[in-house]
Amino acid sequence: MGVVLDGLVLGLQLALLSVGVVFVYGLGGVLNLAHGQVAVAGGLVAALLLQAKVNPVLGGLGGVLAAGLVALVLDRTLLQPAYRRRGEERLLLALILTLGTSFALDGFFTFRYPNVALSLRLPAPSVEVAGITVRTASLAVGALSLATFGLLLVFLKGTRLGKAIRCIIQNEAGAWLCGVDVERARTVTLFLSGLLAGVAALGQGFFSYLGPDMGPEFTILALIVAVVGGVRSLTGTFLASLLLGMVNAALSYWVGTYLTWIALLAVAVATLLVRPEGLLAYWP
């Protein structure tokens, strides 16, 4: 039962990462290969604030906001040349620019903060629920993730800007013809993707720890989930996150981390071969 719960919670954490990737690709037509480093930036800021004896809640919020601001800076600077291109040129230029940024941020984090890590501990390590011992970290991360997705759903369905973002994902040209400010929506989306990555970083801090070298791992996991779920489908991405979270938790328990990574990559390759559009490519 513990493995199942950990798998579901890990799936929610993966969804926080991968939904940001899907957002950015759906609106901007680019894949942000520095997405994991954005999450790490938020986690390191939170860790530094906690080391400075800042209130834990404020420290966590500061880390999430920092991740959003890093993503916002990437949008307003690095990705602008890519947005001026169309089609494959935009995608390839963004891949090269964000890949180089990911290398630069990795080097900076490991050089400047080699001994800084985000590790969050709750007063009680476990509690009993219906006679089953459950880690409090799993409950905390699950509640944090569900609350975040609840707020995201309210934004997307209950606000004018959120509805505009959904329209752009489905048809950018049609949304532009209807008067939607596509550039503004892209900027908001990059900021949101950074906030979601920051929340995922906090979740990692509850589970074990987040170090300065974990950016590539986060990016790869987010891309695998996006490929399996469909890079333009929020629903497919969410379901794929839960599925792969369960697979990850079960295989890590039975066969170890190395073979688990191979299995996850195999699932992504099989999806590309059998159903390139993803599990639920045509769902919103």
Helices H / strands E in the chain, number of each: 12, 2
Distance CA 50, CA 72 (A): 24
| CA neighbor of 52 nearest in space, from 125, 116, 137 | 116
22-38 pLDDT per residue, tens: 888 877 788 899 999 99
Report how far residue 191's alpha carbon sits from residue 185's, in angstroms, rounded to the nearest whole number: 10
Q: Which of 16-30, 86-100, 270-284 is the least confident region?
A: 270-284
Fold of 2-274: ABC transporter involved in vitamin B12 uptake, BtuC (1.10.3470)
Indicate the pLDDT class of residue 175, thresholds 50, 70 and 90.
Answer: low
Q: Tens digits of per-residue pLDDT, 111-139?
A: 999 999 999 888 877 777 666 677 788 88
Task: Output the pLDDT for position 281.
Answer: 56
Of 45, 86, 99, 94, the C-alpha closest to 210 is 45
Above 50 in pLDDT, residue 283? no
Backbone torsions φ then ψ of 118, nearest 5 degrees? -90, 115
Q: Which residue has the higher pLDDT, 162 or 110?
A: 110
User: 50: pLDDT confidence band, cut at 50, 70 and 90?
Assistant: very high
Percentage with pLDDT > 90 across the chain: 39
Tell me, what's the pLDDT at 131? 67
- Residue 197: pLDDT above 80? yes
Contact between 64 and 43 (Cβ < 8 Å)? no
Q: What angle do CA 246, 206, 47 make, to 5 degrees?
A: 140
**pLDDT tier at 20 (50, 70, 90 boundaries)?**
confident
Percentage of residues in the chain having pLDDT higher than 70: 92
Residues 214, 85: Cα–Cα separation, whole Å = 31
pLDDT higher than threshold 90 for residue 60: yes
The amino acid present at 133, given as its one-letter code, is T
Whether the CA torsion 153, 157, 158, 164 is positive or negative: it is positive
Q: What is the pLDDT of residue 282?
A: 47
Amino acid at 164: A
